[in-house]
Amino acid sequence: MKPSQLGAVDLAALRKMDTHVVHPWESFDKPNSSRTVLRGGEGSYVTDAQGNRLLDGPGGMWCVNAGHGRREIVKAMADQAGQLSYTSPWSHPTEPSARLAERLAAVAPGDLNHVFFATGGSTAVDSALRFVMFYNNVLGRPEKKHIISRYDAYHGSTYLSAAVSGKSRDKNWLDTQLDTVHFISSPNPYRRPEGMDTDSFCRHLVDELEAKILEVGADKVGVFIAEPILASGGVIVPPKGYHAACLGVCRRHDVIYISDEVVTGFGRLGHWYASEPVFDITPDIIVSAKGLTSGYIPLSAVIISDRLIQAVGGDSERGAVFSNGFTYSGHPVSCAAALANMDVFESEGLLENARELGPYLQEQLQTLSDLPIVGDIRGQGLMGCLECVASQESRQPLTLDYEVGSRIDAHCQALGLLVRPLINMCVMSPPLCVTRQQIDDLTRILREGIVRTMADLEKEGIASFG
């Protein structure tokens, strides 16, 4: 059914029912009862309950990579559910999961040829970290369990994936502390120390990683986990050469490198996985989710190197078992969706489109730099972010904090664009089928939304932009 054919909905009744839903990041002190209800989607657009068409700036949550309403993916899911809706991944291989694993191994870099399927980014991160623990136990080094992550990282919401996430506000009301997890600086060039150029900043960060490994003890540090671009932390693009240098440090100290490509994978940066073609690294493990099924159904994958798998296998006496799995690991309907999603990518040249239009999105976002509230504009490929500040000179946050992004989003929605507000930031990650015209519309509306927000803030005496 096309979004334009959707029947009327009783919005008030729906909102009342929705009070029973506990949303992610729910505030029980200030429940948000004004979330926009969406009911349809086609290509780069979604339709709200009143029938308004909105350009999907965040692409769902950086996951609707193939775009909304893809009949090929829907059909593949329906066909698979009709043929075999479920079978235990413990006992029975299925054609979709076997075919998908082979296809992921083919597009992953280097010798990353072994795929463990999970249900979402968090469970995949958890599984990847548990695999590292397993690996070091099997190798007889049970001490080598410590994990190094970065401030501003986001890796998920299970206990372990939250424990390795480094967004300080998310730790205010939940316990995520683990003695085996250590954090190093966020590689955010916009917030680098005063007077330091980006090359020196990069060296400083890499030295910090090595110093942290030495401080904890190289015999104790098992793994470094890093998003190539820190996504939910605010689209933080590390300085050039950062990842390759970090991988060098990890290799020197026999530390496993996990590249969390939950967001950067599946075309966001123009490639199946960005680690090798964009950041010049072949990690030991890649974590993939979101765009893997373009958000049509949950699925994630942990792609592990031959080197690691060979090290934990082959000893029939030992009988080591990686006791980690989910009822829905490699669910056949999810894997069928992922295969159809990859077919859409190939038949429509979505990776090529992302490679061509990624730089155009960045160029267009940069045209907003004249707006005094905009402190930093950053991103790469089809992921971008504007950070709002009190003044471009001071880089200090506005007193409004959380509300700035949501105020811009509200204005933009009225003008036909969904934004992902992240505290004082606005994030953009449109579907990979986005067009040049849609990027122009996105930029135009974003400008107007920001101008209106600035006018409101001045009128309310909250800020002054000269």
Ligand X SMILES: Cc1ncc(COP(=O)(O)O)c(C=O)c1O
Q: Are 129 and 165 in contact (CB under 8 A)?
A: no
Nearer to ligand X, 265 or 358 (CB): 265
**And the tokens for 282?**
């072949």
Nearer to ligand X, 302 or 386 (CB): 302
Q: Are 257 and 246 in contact (CB under 8 A)?
A: yes
Nearer to ligand X, 373 or 426 (CB): 426
Q: Which residue has the tokens 């291989």?
A: 93
Nearer to ligand X, 40 or 421 (CB): 421
The region of 140-148, 152-160, 184-192, 337-345 touching ligand X under the rule CB under 6 A is 152-160
Q: Which residue has the tokens 């929705």?
A: 18
Site for ligand X in 212-231 (CB under 6 A): 227, 231
The region of 79-87, 258-266, 273-281, 371-379 touching ligand X under the rule CB under 6 A is 258-266
Residue 24 CB, shortest distance to ligand X, in Å, is 8
Tell me which of 80, 122, 136, 429 binds ligand X, using CB under 6 A. Answer: 122
Q: Does 120 bind ligand X (CB under 6 A)?
A: yes
Residue type, position 241, single letter: G
Q: Are 299 and 342 in contact (CB under 8 A)?
A: no
Nearer to ligand X, 259 or 443 (CB): 259
Q: Does 234 bind ligand X (CB under 6 A)?
A: no
Q: How many angstroms separate the first and last alpha carbons of the chain?
A: 50
Burial group, residue 401, by CB count within 10 angstroms (0-12, 13-18, 19+): exposed
The region of 118-126, 356-364, 422-430, 457-465 touching ligand X under the rule CB under 6 A is 118-126
Site for ligand X in 25-84 (CB under 6 A): none
Q: Does 377 bind ligand X (CB under 6 A)?
A: no
Q: Does 263 bind ligand X (CB under 6 A)?
A: yes
Site for ligand X in 167-206 (CB under 6 A): none
Give the whole-angstrom CA distance, residue 367 versus residue 440: 11
Nearer to ligand X, 209 or 427 (CB): 427
Tell me which of 94, 232, 334, 380 binds ligand X, using CB under 6 A. Answer: 232
Q: Which residue has the tokens 């209800």?
A: 37
String of DSSP letters for 263-303? TTTTTTTSSS-STTTTT----SEEEE-GGGTTTSS--EEEE
Q: Does 289 bind ligand X (CB under 6 A)?
A: yes
In terms of C-beta distances under 8 Å and separation of at least 24 residues, what long-range contacts does 187-193 make, across chains too?
Answer: 187/150, 187/230, 187/236, 187/238, 187/239, 187/242, 188/152, 188/230, 188/233, 188/234, 188/236, 189/237, 189/238, 189/239, 190/375, 190/376, 190/378, 190/387, 190/395, 191/395
Residues that contact ligand X, how many (by CB under 6 A): 14
Residue 123 CB, shortest distance to ligand X, in Å, is 7
Residue 121 CB, shortest distance to ligand X, in Å, is 2
Which residues sit at the interface with ligand X, rule CB under 6 A? 120-122, 125, 154-156, 227, 231-232, 260, 262-263, 289
